Amino acid sequence: MPALIENNTWSLVLRVEGKQPIGCKWIYKIKKNVDGSIARYKARIVVKGYTQKYGIDYEETFSPVVKMTTIRVLLALAVSKRWNLYQLVDVKNAFLNGELEEEVSMDKPQGYMHQQYPNYVCKLKKALYGLKQAPRAWNHKLVEYLMKCDFIVSDEHLYIYKA
């Protein structure tokens, strides 16, 4: 919940008559250390995207994917030039950064202000896992950021930074 609140993921709004909000559920996971001991408990809200209706809850779902040929060429080039490869970025709660263009409402998560606001739903501002348009929204946000940082696009989904 702290990540959802910090990211301003939704706002509580009065339920619109005749508009069915999308359901959601909590997914729980136990992260373990190498020795099998418990490292931490994780919880994630997942939207029941399978109930979304095309043209009502979303328009487009397409999110570009880099071609395997591009990856192979990049790796072959790195090996032949003896470049070091690094993974510099791991975005926590990545989908929560994607901003929604569509108006999507979701039922309040179990245990979240049910008694205080019985006729309210969550109007989503950001994408959540399970939404059909979540990967597309996250990709749009990422590309927008890369362009601001002066990356250039080469071969569709390969971004290059020239220092």
> pLDDT value at position 118?
81
> pLDDT value at position 68?
87
> Is 90 exceeded by the pLDDT of residue 64?
no
What is the DSSP annotation of 120-143? EEEEEEE--TT-TTHHHHHHHHHH
Q: Which two tokens stand for residue 126?
A: 């950001």
> pLDDT value at position 92?
72
> Is 90 exceeded by the pLDDT of residue 52?
no
Percent of the chain with pLDDT over 90: 33
Query: pTM of the predicted model, to two decimals?
Result: 0.74
Dihedral (C-alpha) 151, 155, 156, 161: value to the nearest 10 degrees? -10
Phi, then psi, of 129 in degrees rounded to 5: -60, 135
62-69: which pairs have CB atoms within 8 A and are 24 or more residues apart? 62/136, 63/135, 63/136, 63/138, 63/139, 64/139, 64/156, 64/157, 65/157, 66/156, 66/157, 66/158, 67/155, 67/156, 67/157
Q: pLDDT digit string (tens) for 66-125? A: 888 888 988 999 999 999 888 777 777 777 788 998 889 999 988 876 667 788 999 999
